[in-house]
Amino acid sequence: MKVRHIDHVGIIVDDLPAAKAFFVDLGLEVLGEGELEGELLDLVVGLNDAKTALVTLRSPDGQANIELVKFYRPADENGMQQHAANTLGIRHIAFVVDDIDAVVARLKEKGVEVFSAVQRYEDQYKLCYIRGPEGIILELAEELK
């Protein structure tokens, strides 16, 4: 047995419309939207009486999907937490962009938190970390030719 590919990354959010708008503005396309509840959902996620809404988005090249999920029930007792880039666990999602300087400038205008100026990694990439909606850390990378 071996893994064939990653199907999607799930991100739990509180403000689903805002998170969806952010990722669509970044260039992802909406594949589908819906709501789920019932016994099967409860069994799959290991919760009782769960109800969710979700949006599935795909990168323009069709290679990666993100699933944004809003849990209406049960509520998260801890609330949203702002983690640092070195906090243990899954911490960021990386996107390759065409013009990182333009993307970062546009995001700054919209009030997105940028961790640092765009940095150059050897002759391979220009890189920058930002904090998107719900505290999601994104790494932006521009491949250098």
Cα separation, 73 vs 125, in Å, equals 42
Q: For 69-98, write each residue's pLDDT tens digit.
A: 999 999 887 777 778 878 877 789 999 999
The contacts of residue 139 (CB under 8 Å, 6+ apart) are: 92, 93, 94, 95, 127, 128, 129
Q: Is 16 helix (H, G, I), strand (E, B) or coil?
A: helix
pLDDT at 3 over 80: no
Q: How confident is the prediction for the chain on average, in pLDDT?
A: 91
DSSP string, 67-106: EEEEEEESPPSS------TTSSS--EEEEE-S-HHHHHHH
* Number of residues written out for the chain: 145
Closest CA to 14 of 67, 56, 76: 76
> Where do the structural domains in the chain lie, given as residue ranges?
9-73, 92-143
Gap between the Cα atoms of 100 and 130, Å rounded: 12
Q: Which fold has domain 9-73?
A: 2,3-Dihydroxybiphenyl 1,2-Dioxygenase; domain 1 (3.10.180)
Identical fold for domains 9-73 and 92-143, yes or no, is: yes
Instruction: Encode pLDDT of 32-43 as tens digits.
Output: 999 999 999 888
pLDDT per residue as tens digits for the range 115-126? 889 999 999 999
Q: What is the pLDDT of residue 107?
A: 94
Three-class DSSP category at 23: helix
Fold topology of 92-143: 2,3-Dihydroxybiphenyl 1,2-Dioxygenase; domain 1 (3.10.180)
